[in-house]
Amino acid sequence: MRILVSNDDGVFSPGLEALVEALRPLGHITVVAPDRERSAVGHSLTFFHPVRVHKVREDEGCVVYHTDGTPTDCVLLGIFFVMDDNRPDLVVSGINRGANLGDDIHYSGTVSAAMEGCIHGVPSMAVSMASFCDMQWQSGARVARMVAEAIVANGLPRRTFLNVNVPNLPFEELAGFEATAQGESIYQQRIVKRADPRGNDYYWITGEIPRGEPVPGTDFSAVAAGRASITPVQLNLTQHNFLDILRGWKLMRSQPSAV
């Protein structure tokens, strides 16, 4: 099996190293990851300047590259350049420092890397640890391998990928796995305005770590209960339940030329 690994914490992050070692027994690993941290860049692509790719190292069963692009760039380069002759069978993104729960999936470079793999028809997953300190990387890596094996055994629906969040606990203390729905995040954002030495204003976007109500069946609830959350995410964002209502709006019967 050919596995493409990426992340948004950078090619030298301990989470990526733990993930690679856990996945090695499953097949050949190709890493294409950012050369520095690119957290919260979302699903951005680099269009207005070239992206450079450099090989970091190669050993038995694993080759590692870094780029100066985004996580999405990395997956594109991995599929269509680095692995062009042998497309990956699986894309795994992570292991991220910090959870990607609820609405955070829209900001996450980690999740976006998995999404990019899914867009191009490769079974994909993102893996994150629900902490920023005292990281239990080996626990997350073991969970990642188990989920990867389950994807290989069971497959995934078309245009669907998995978002995995692991409580920051030793593996033996995890309370199991839970198939979950995406929760809703509660944000407390702040914009801090300051002035540089020349008197020009600049701004820091900051705030507290987002939280969410632990509604049963959601990713927030599972992680709070010590279970690894596995959320199936689909690419199509259409709100189908609202379509018929929207079609009934008077606007839909209007002739633009008459406005």
The number of domains in the chain is 1
The reply to whether 196 falls in a domain is: no
The reply to whether 190 falls in a domain is: no
Residue-range definition of the domain harbouring residue 41: 2-183+214-258
- The pTM (predicted TM-score) of the whole model is 0.92
The reply to whether 207 falls in a domain is: no
Beta-strand relationship, 53-59 and 160-166: unpaired
Supply the pLDDT for residue 259: 54
Separation of alpha carbons 208 and 13, rounded Å: 23
Return the amino acid letter for 33.
Answer: A
Q: How far is CA 4 from the centre of its chain?
A: 14
Supply the pLDDT for residue 258: 58
The reply to whether 205 falls in a domain is: no
The reply to whether 225 falls in a domain is: yes
For residue 30, the surrounding DSSP H or E stretch is strand 28-34
The reply to whether 199 falls in a domain is: no
The reply to whether 49 falls in a domain is: yes
- The CATH code of the domain that includes 69 is 3.40.1210.10
Q: From the first residue on, what is the mean pLDDT of each consecutive set of 10 residues in the chain (259 residues)?
A: 96 97 97 92 91 94 96 97 93 96 94 97 98 96 98 97 98 97 84 90 80 90 97 96 94 76
**DSSP annotation string for 43-91:** T----SS---EEEEEEETTEEEEEESS-HHHHHHHIIIIITTTS--SEE
